[in-house]
Amino acid sequence: MENSATATLIQPELFPETKRESEAVVGNPLPWETAASEDLLAAQVVVNRPIDKAFTYLVPDHLRADIQTGQRVRVPFGKGDRLLTGFCVSLGPVSKTGRDLKWVQSVVDELPLITPSMMDLTRWIADRYLCSWGQVLDGVVPTGVKQRAGTRLIRRFRIHPDTQARLEGVRLSAKQQAVLQVLQDRDEPLTLEEISASAHCSAGPVQALVKKNLVIALRERTHDFVPEPTAIERNDDLKLNDQQEVALRSIVDSLQAKQHQTFLLHGVTGSGKTEVYIQAIREVVGYGRQAIVLVPEISLTPQTVQRFQSRFDSVAVLHSHLSAAERHWHWQQIRRGAVNVIVGARSAVFAPAPHLGLIVIDEEHETSFKQDSTPRYHTREVARERARIEKIPLVLGSATPTLESWHRGQTRKDVVLSLPKRVEERAMPPVVVVDTRNDPQIERGDAIGRVLESGMRTALKDSGQVILFLNLRGFSPTLWCRACGVSAKCPHCDVTLTWHRDRNVALCHVCNYQTILRNCPECGHAGIRRLGSGTQRLEEEVRRKFKEHKILRMDSDSMRRHGSYSAALAAFRNGDVQILLGTQMIAKGLDFPNVTLVGVVDADTSLHQPDLRAAERTFQLISQVAGRTGRSHRGGRVFVQTSSPGEPAIAFAADHDYHGFARHEMQQRQAMHVPPFRHLARVILRSEDEAFVEAKAEEFAEIVKQTIQEESLAVWLLGPAPAPVAKVKDHYRYHFQLSASDPEEIVKLWRIAEDQLPKSSGFEYVIDVDPTNMR
């Protein structure tokens, strides 16, 4: 054996003793099962650093039995041999002798945190989103799981399977016999306390039996924290209508074929998409498998979550308010296969379900499915890859699919399932586009124009409820100096300050800087004017105009406390509140039959963003907000205030014409050479020194350009230029974009170019693949 010479060099005393005891940990192979091999075992370890490389460490003999792929280990790292925690991604014999390898210092986890299929998925993410495997692995396991929050190790005892044979010729005391009797009768591992109580003895006889190898001591992890079961009223599945039935059939066929297929369930708001997900999951649960349902944000979709809870046993709802202990408990339950349905936001795509049968992404167009920090994955693409690995269907649902998903449907990569009508033939609400350009009320500074106001009065008179949508929080978004004509900006960021009247401050929505701002920061003049309306000023205006009605504002300022959101929705549902106004917080999934009017106060805010998806977002927002009305026999209307009534995004949304909008927007995108026709990656550099970051951006771009040429890659470089938000928290930002029709080309380019980039201090950079945030 090539390795045996090296193997003799292993001196057990050279290695620090680990704290592990020799007792078997439930589920691990016993030491003598694996320790026989003479080979030198090595572990490939990745760490949470931006280096996409696995490091080889030797496994000392006393850890051989414990170490498994997917566990975390402690290893000495770098020149100073600082101990770091990394993931063991593979194990095998070392190929070369005499290598100067370091040793694994200890094994952290009792069981692997990462399953083999999750290994493949995380590796894919590192490649696709150009980060390191270690960063991804660290990111997919919840902190509470890594910390084993809310658990402790306890010791239990069970009788040795061979005890009868081993008892031959062994003399036992009466107490020892009593202990054996108890363990035999109960036939399950017992704690010392349980044994002592039944056998009326101290710890002594139990220890003696362990020494004699008649009783085995086990260490088990128990959860101190076990959540209370929530009592949710159970409902029966609905009888599907024909269009729902057709959609369900396709999904079930694919389930049975055990092949991956992505379905785009395109159904207008209220067309019964959720009911289709539920019945597809019913099928999956019937096979003893689990389903993952991904929603944009748990706290903003309480009604959807409740529907799942009312239909299935053991639903795990992974919301952002879970404590570390709760999260850990759910994770373990999911891994044991004890959970049928997992409902959560983006990170739930990594739920460790052992026999996954289906993944659903509801409202697939929502931007929250893209993670904004490393690993910068898009949940939809990760779900697609996981579904491919596990050979199961993925269902993407939306009334307003992203053009990326729509394009895949059009090019037959994915299957489009359509629910063109609302259930029970309810009409889509008529949408009135209101031109605000000559409205006298708007001209004098109101947010609500004449037409919208009279529409609200009519709806309220008929005892309907009203929703007003305005995607700007605060009181007024512009603080304008009439002397110098400049709008007040944050001193740390390249954005204007917003006046918040409740706190009496001018606030930066990027860095939270706040100032009282009596005088203009530019010229010192005292006459600052507050222009434009955010939700706070809108609230004031509505209170003034509709004195006799109860009004509620929902935005991230008014809904700070946990629970205030559901309390507010309850007040609206039971009719205590007649007018609900708020930011995009109220645009999603809400289903209130009594809402007969929806007002989009200013459709222009999202339209004029410097973003290739500005039109798409505007179309989506108007369609989603419009979907909050006309949900019962009472019907409903929508008013959209805009100063650009001819804008296609607004006109198509008013006609409920997704196909028309998609056709129009696809042409624009194709002409602009942007997604879905090309793939993008954005490189953003930042530094406190503006000239320095500009120079670095130029340097980066030059290296990228050269690599493109040398490797003959089909990638375009755009920029560098200052980012649209050119300063954030005192850091100047530059960016450039890479564009390619094949995303692999960008990956290839970056993997080569990245090694040549200058590594000096004083600046940082990130690469964002498939960016959705263009600021």
Q: Give the footprint of Zn ion on this chain (CB under 5 A).
A: 490, 492-493, 508, 510-511, 513
Q: What angle do CA 254, 256, 262 make, to 5 degrees?
A: 20
Can residue 257 be called a binding residue for ligand ADP (CB under 6 A)? no
- In the complex with ligand ADP, the residue whose CB is nearer, 269 or 536, is 269
Question: What CA–CA distance (Å, rounded) separates 701 from 711?
Answer: 15
Using CB under 6 A as the binding criterion, the count of chain residues that bind ligand ADP stands at: 15
Residues 6 or more apart whose CB falls under 8 angstroms from that of 554 comprise 565, 568, 580, 581, 582, 583, 585, 586
One-letter amino acid for residue 470 of the chain: L
Is residue 416 within 8 A of residue 243, CB to CB? The reply is no
Selected binder of ligand ADP within 18, 90, 207, 241 (CB under 6 A): 241
Selected binder of ligand ADP within 64, 273, 500, 588 (CB under 6 A): 273
Strands (E), 160-308: 190-191, 215-223, 261-267, 290-294
Cα–Cα nearest to 345, from 297, 386, 276: 297
Selected binder of ligand ADP within 46, 125, 240, 598 (CB under 6 A): 240
- In the complex with ligand ADP, the residue whose CB is nearer, 423 or 666, is 423
Can residue 398 be called a binding residue for ligand ADP (CB under 6 A)? no
Strand order in the sheet with 679-687: 716-728, 731-740, 679-687, 764-769
- In the complex with ligand ADP, the residue whose CB is nearer, 252 or 423, is 423
Q: Which one of Zn ion, ligand ADP, none interacts with residue 490, CB within 5 to 8 A by kind?
A: Zn ion
Q: Which one of ligand ADP, Zn ion, none interacts with residue 69, CB within 5 to 8 A by kind?
A: none
User: φ, ψ for residue 22 (rounded to 5)?
Assistant: -75, -5
Selected binder of ligand ADP within 272, 375, 455, 582 (CB under 6 A): 272
Selected binder of ligand ADP within 274, 332, 347, 583 (CB under 6 A): 274
Q: How far is the CB of 280 from ligand ADP (least distance, A)?
A: 12
The number of angstroms, rounded, from the C-alpha of 160 to the middle of its chain's C-alpha atoms is 46
Selected binder of ligand ADP within 244, 279, 374, 535 (CB under 6 A): 244
Can residue 613 be called a binding residue for ligand ADP (CB under 6 A)? no
Can residue 687 be called a binding residue for ligand ADP (CB under 6 A)? no
The residue range among 217-225, 238-246, 429-437, 607-615 that interacts with ligand ADP, by the rule CB under 6 A, is 238-246
First to last CA, the chain: 59
Q: How far is the CB of 356 from ligand ADP (least distance, A)?
A: 22
Is residue 347 within 8 A of residue 318, CB to CB? The reply is yes
Q: Which one of Zn ion, ligand ADP, none interacts with residue 493, CB within 5 to 8 A by kind?
A: Zn ion
Selected binder of ligand ADP within 139, 142, 267, 401 (CB under 6 A): 267
Is residue 763 within 8 A of residue 719, CB to CB? The reply is no
Q: Which one of Zn ion, ligand ADP, none interacts with residue 690, CB within 5 to 8 A by kind?
A: none
- In the complex with ligand ADP, the residue whose CB is nearer, 45 or 395, is 395
- In the complex with ligand ADP, the residue whose CB is nearer, 163 or 400, is 400
Question: What CA–CA distance (Å, rounded) separates 754 from 47?
Answer: 18
Can residue 275 be called a binding residue for ligand ADP (CB under 6 A)? yes
Classify the C-alpha dihedral 169-175-181-183 as positive or negative: negative
Report which secondary-structure segment, H or E, holds 84. Answer: strand 82-93
Classify the C-alpha dihedral 293-299-301-303 as positive or negative: positive
Can residue 271 be called a binding residue for ligand ADP (CB under 6 A)? yes
The residue range among 99-107, 135-143, 236-244, 527-535 that interacts with ligand ADP, by the rule CB under 6 A, is 236-244
Query: Is residue 260 helix, strand or coil?
Result: coil
Report which secondary-structure segment, H or E, holds 98. Answer: none
Q: How far is the CB of 416 from ligand ADP (least distance, A)?
A: 15
Two tokens at 428? 């889509």
Question: What CA–CA distance (Å, rounded) separates 248 from 283?
Answer: 10
- In the complex with ligand ADP, the residue whose CB is nearer, 239 or 547, is 239
Q: Residues, the chain, total?
A: 775
Cβ of 437: how many Cβ atoms within 10 Å? Answer: 11
Can residue 198 be called a binding residue for ligand ADP (CB under 6 A)? no
Binding residues for ligand ADP, rule: CB under 6 A, are 238-241, 244, 267, 269-275, 423, 591
